[in-house]
Structure 1
Amino acid sequence: MKGIILAGGSGTRLYPLTKSVSKQMLPVYDKPMIYYPLSALMLAGIREILIISTPRDLDRFEELLGNGHRLGLDIHYQVQDEPNGLAEAFLIGEEFIGDSPVALILGDNIFYGSNFGNLLADASNLTTGALVFGCYVKNPKAYGVIEVDDDLNPISIEEKPLHPKSTLAIPGLYFFDHQVVEIAKTVKPSERGEKEITSIINEYLHRGELKFELLGRGLAWFDTGTHESLLEASQFVETIQKRQGLYIACIEEIAFRRGYITKDQLLEVAEPLMKTDYGKYLVDVTKSRNEKIRDKGAFMSDSI
């Protein structure tokens, strides 16, 4: 499976912070925002990744992450000239996707919770159809909403409905088979002038090929598109890291734990960062006495 991070848009809700820098480059506590969706794809076992962003910002992402080889990844980049909707990501990434299934994650979405790493690993095994998640939210009118029956089978999908049929929002993480490209080509712009991801999901629903996974109370999901949610996410990450002593979305650690890079490669990455807590943490990762316990706690059941 391949992965796409959609890190475009103008981030107008975060002005003036985003007047000269991409929203996905803003710090969420101690890391750039894009580290969090990238870590989700890495935990899913996805190593070939396409980052889509604006003409202004794409070079900055490439400067930050390069070709991904230092993380054992293969990172590609493409431009989205205008924010024409999430579904456009599959048209931009058509050549990248090819005949492979693909995961799409939005660059401003952050996930953390019990068993989420296992859910991602299972989701990445998808070969046919589509898979979406559902999270309970207080204000479903602001999201894409999914209605399910008593057996958690999806019934309907609506984008920002005035009268939501449920309080289950679809977060910005989706898994599709390769048919998604051809389906995306048929999507017409909505009244908002955007090619909505819900149109694609609805097509899979009509075909009877849509799977649904409920993310329960133990999962934290942040859509960091406002000043308030950006601050909340930063405070959450700070609290977890200080209490547990384990970092969230430490992409170098994930690469090491997953076997994408060696201990020596991790130490090479850490060496120029030794004046920071981040660099010292990377060194500590290589010295951990209880590797199996830390691996399970930090990466199999809880991590990103």
Structure 2
Amino acid sequence: MKGIILAGGSGTRLYPLTKAVSKQILPIYDKPMIYYPLSILMLAGIKEILLISTPRDIGGFKELFGDGRHLGLMIEYAIQEKPNGLAEAFIIGEEFIGDSSVALILGDNIFYGTNFIDFIENATSLKIGGIIFGCYVNDPSAYGVVEIGDNGEAISIEEKPKRPKSKFAIPGLYFFDNKVIEIAKKVQPSSRGEVEITSILNEYLQRGKLKVEVLGRGLAWLDTGTNESLLNASNFVEVIQKRQGMYIACIEEIAYRKGYISKQELMELAYPLMKTDYGKYLMELADSTVEEYSLAYSSMNGG
């Protein structure tokens, strides 16, 4: 399975913060927002990733991640000229997807929970149909909403309904088989002028090929579209990291624990960051010290 991160949009609800920079580059406590969706794809075992952004912002992501090789990944980039809707990601990414199944995650969604890794790892084995998640929220009217039957099957999908049929919002993480490309091409723009992801979900629903995984109370799902939610997300990450001593969405750690990079490569990533707690954390993961790294670096370079 391949993965797509959609990091587009103009972030107007966050002006003036986003007037000159992508929302997904803004910090969520100690790391850029984009680290969080990338970490989800990495935890799912997805190594081939397409990052889609605006003409203005794509260069910043290239500078941040390069080709992903330092993390054991293969990262490619594409431009969405205008915010034409989430479904357009599959059209833009057609060549990248090829004959593979695909996961799409939005660049402003944050997930945290132990059992969630099991959900997404299982989802990557998808061969036929689509998988979405249902997350219980107090006010679902601001989201896509899935109505779920007694047997756990999806009954209906609505986009930001005024009178939601359920309390289960659909977070910005979707898994589809390869048919999603042809389905996306047939989607007609909505009244908002966008090709909606809801149209794709409804097509899979009509075909009887849409599965819903209900996320329990142990999972935290945050989106970061407003100043308040941006602050809340940062505070959440700070509390968890300081209490547990383990980092959320540390992409270098994930790459190391997944075996994508070696201990030596982890040390090389950590060393330039040693003035920060983040860098010290990475060095501790390698069970190494700055002195050990310096000796290894000197040896590698003939010192």
The verdict on a shared fold, with TM-score over 0.5 as the criterion, is yes
User: 2:22 corresponds to which residue?
Assistant: 22
Q: Residue 134 of structure 1 aligns to which amino acid in structure 2?
A: G
Q: Residue 117 of structure 2 aligns to which amino acid in structure 1?
A: G
Q: Deviations over 1:47-91 (max 9, x none)?
A: 000000000000000000000000000000000000000000000
3-state DSSP of counterpart to 2:286: helix
Q: Residue 76 of structure 2 aligns to which amino acid in structure 1?
A: H
Return the offset for 1:129: 0.4
3-state DSSP of counterpart to 1:287: coil
CA distance in 2, matches of 1:244, 1:133: 27
User: 1:281 corresponds to which residue?
Assistant: 281
3-state DSSP of counterpart to 1:156: strand
1:121-132 alignment runs, 5 A limit: 121-132=121-132
3-state DSSP of counterpart to 1:63: helix
TM-score by length of 1: 0.94
Return the offset for 1:287: 1.6
TM-score by length of 2: 0.94
CA distance in 1, matches of 2:38, 2:59: 17
Q: Deviations over 1:91-122 (max 9, x none)?
A: 00000001100000000000001311111111
CA distance in 2, matches of 1:219, 1:166: 19
User: 1:104 corresponds to which residue?
Assistant: 104
3-state DSSP of counterpart to 1:132: strand
Q: Residue 249 of structure 2 aligns to which amino acid in structure 1?
A: A
CA distance in 2, matches of 1:135, 1:204: 19
CA distance in 1, matches of 2:126, 2:143: 25
User: 1:61 corresponds to which residue?
Assistant: 61
Structure 1 portions without partners, runs of 5+: 289-304
CA distance in 1, matches of 2:176, 2:118: 18
CA distance in 1, matches of 2:250, 2:279: 11
1:116-265 alignment runs, 5 A limit: 116-265=116-265
CA distance in 2, matches of 1:86, 1:149: 26
Say what the alpha-carbon RMSD is for the aligned residues. 0.7
User: 2:38 corresponds to which residue?
Assistant: 38
CA distance in 2, matches of 1:150, 1:76: 41
Return the offset for 1:132: 0.1
Q: Residue 99 of structure 1 aligns to which amino acid in structure 2?
A: D
Return the offset for 1:143: 0.5
Q: Residue 241 of structure 2 aligns to which amino acid in structure 1?
A: Q
Q: Residue 276 of structure 1 aligns to which amino acid in structure 2?
A: T
CA distance in 2, matches of 1:136, 1:119: 16
Q: Residue 154 of structure 1 aligns to which amino acid in structure 2?
A: A
CA distance in 2, matches of 1:135, 1:183: 25
Return the offset for 1:177: 0.4
CA distance in 2, matches of 1:235, 1:23: 17
The structure number with the bigger radius of gyration is: 2
User: 1:297 corresponds to which residue?
Assistant: none
3-state DSSP of counterpart to 1:247: coil
Q: Deviations over 1:126-163 (max 9, x none)?
A: 11100000001111111000001111110000001111
CA distance in 1, matches of 2:217, 2:151: 18
Q: Residue 245 of structure 1 aligns to which amino acid in structure 2?
A: G
3-state DSSP of counterpart to 2:217: coil
Q: Residue 41 of structure 2 aligns to which amino acid in structure 1?
A: L
CA distance in 1, matches of 2:183, 2:195: 11
Q: Report runs of 4+ in structure 1 exceeding 2 Å deviation.
A: none
Q: Does 1:114 align with 2:114?
A: yes
Equivalent pairs, count? 288
